[in-house]
Amino acid sequence: MHDDVMPSELVITIDGPAGTGKSTVAYRLAQCLGLEYLDTGSMYRAAALIAIRHQLDPADGGVLATAVAKEAIRFDWSASPPSILLDGENVSERLREMDVSAMVSEVARQPAVRVVLVEQQRSIAAEHPRLVTEGRDQGSVVFPDAKVRFFLHADPAVRAQRRVDQLAAKGSDVDLEVVIADIEQRDHLDSTRSDGPLIRPQGAIDLDTSNMSIDEVVDAMVTRVTRAVADSGDA
Ligand code: DC
């Protein structure tokens, strides 16, 4: 839609907790602007799958980081959204399964694992310089100089309701209060971990998505990116 006016190098970061619609809006924004899309959560999930397959202790960051560095985590950029490959096998669906979800926060807490994945994310951006990248630390740690950085947040009760709706659509019935407690607990863990904590990056554009639809969030982002590009004279 707007890709004709986008510069040849443009990294846009989207940080924020789970349940803010981050992945969906990141992918839609990338499509709208004709940019590529990187889901960094899937890289932490791939690291968890490596731990599962090699029966490694996820709390042993050093051993796991070595395995992650050795095993090639790659993306198939011809797919939309890009699929994630482990040693050539498409594991995109596998990464959403329960065992991976249950292990991934422990894996994401390991500083040694983060070092390896952050380096891979920067290499990806060097090869794919027109990129929308989303995660917990993309604007704060990985790409602090990105031209546009967003921080999405939303009321925990709203995020919990979105999660309950998603699960209900898949046929699972869960209690809203339990999900709210789980989200608050995860926010606390994410924002207090020592390495790559979830924080609002300084200078990032703050969007409260509590009362916004996905379309409204994407529209607001497109406006801000178009303005930032025009202001910098890069277009
Ligand atoms: O967004 P997700 O649920 O796929 O993320 C999986 C896990 O990885 C979750 O525990 C948050 C963590 N993560 C992270 O620590 N840093 C990122 N850049 C992306 C995800």
Give the chain's domains with CATH numbers.
8-217 (3.40.50.300)
Please say whether the dihedral angle defined by the alpha carbons of residues 173, 81, 100 and 143, taken in this order, is positive or negative. negative
Whether the pLDDT of residue 1 is over 80: the answer is no
pLDDT of residue 166: 85
pLDDT of residue 57: 98
Ligand 1, closest atom to CA 22?
A: 1
pLDDT of residue 123: 97
DSSP code string of 109-138:
T-HHHHHHHHHHHHHHHHHS-EEEEEESSI
pLDDT tens digits, 67-99 = 999 998 999 999 999 999 999 999 999 998 989
The model's pTM is 0.92
DSSP-derived letter for residue 3 is G
Please give the average per-residue pLDDT across 171-188, as a whole number: 87
The CA 13 to ligand 1 mean position distance, Å, reads 14
Residues 212 and 144: their CA atoms lie apart, in Å, by: 26
pLDDT band, residue 235 (cuts 50/70/90) = low
CB distance 120 to ligand 1 below 6 Å: no
The CA 95 to ligand 1 mean position distance, Å, reads 12
pLDDT band, residue 189 (cuts 50/70/90) = confident
CB distance 151 to ligand 1 below 6 Å: no
Whether the pLDDT of residue 190 is over 60: the answer is yes
Nearest CA, atom 2, ligand 1: 41
Coil, helix or strand at residue 84: strand
pLDDT tens digits, 6-57 = 888 999 999 998 888 899 999 999 999 999 999 999 999 999 999 999 999 9
Average of per-residue pLDDT values in the chain: 93
Count of residues for the chain? 235
